[in-house]
Structure 1
Amino acid sequence: MGFDITLHDKMPDVVLYRQDKHWIYFIEAVTSTGAMTPQRVLDIQAMTRNVEAGKIFITAFPDPDTYKQFSGDLAWETDVWISAHPDHMIHLDGTKFLGPYR
């Protein structure tokens, strides 16, 4: 894919690849290391600078109350998934939904 993962990297909890769209999903469970903040997105982009696939950044929350605690820290153009409402997602920008970061 264009990057190496080592035990010391700051990679998110889950990294998935969707071959038909050539997208990589970087999913962070907020309860483990926190949310997809602007700095977190920059760090992942730096680690994956050689990746040609589209990059999608998602923060996973257990419930709406936890989401509310972190909502002010989330980076624009990232997505939110709340396990209490698994069929819905929140996108933090109005121009697109669940697509690669620009």
Structure 2
Amino acid sequence: MKDWLFLIEAVTSHGPISEKRIFELEQMLGNCKSRKRYVTIFPSMSIYEKYATNIALDTEIWFANNPDRIMYLHSVVLRNHKKTD
């Protein structure tokens, strides 16, 4: 991957990457031109479940007890299509 900056946060040290945390990181990295990927590391799925509602969309989740997998929380914009008769 060319010109990517991976921002990796251990949930046990600072909590998950939330919308607020992304805002803070973007402020600190204001002049950075690299594309950013936000990753929160969890020890396990059970710890993830405690924080699931606080994790920002369009971020990634990695589980230390299952290191071969990564979970993506991608958002999708739905368009309001008008039904025509």
Q: TM-score under structure 1 normalisation?
A: 0.71
Structure 2 match to 1:8:
none
Instruction: For residues 1-36 of structure 1, give each alpha carbon's deviation from its aligned partner in whole angstroms, at most 9, with x where no partner exists.
Output: xxxxxxxxxxxxxxxxxxx51000000000011110
- Give the C-alpha shift of residue 94 in structure 1: 5.7
Aligned: 1:60 with 2:41: yes
> What pairs up with 1:1-102 in 2 under 5 angstroms?
20-93=1-74
Structure 1 runs (4+) greater than 3 angstroms displaced: none
Q: Distance in 1 between matches of 2:45 and 2:3?
A: 31
Counting aligned pairs with the same residue, the percent is 30
Between 1 and 2, higher relative CO (CA 8 Å, sep ≥ 6) is seen in 2
Determine which structure has the larger helix proportion and give its number.
2
Structure 1: give runs of 5+ residues left out of the alignment. 1-19, 96-102
Question: What is the Cα-based RMSD across aligned positions, in Å?
Answer: 1.2
Q: Which has the larger radius of gyration?
A: 2
- Give the structure-2-normalised TM-score: 0.85
Partner Cα separation in structure 1 for residue 75 and residue 22 of structure 2: 19
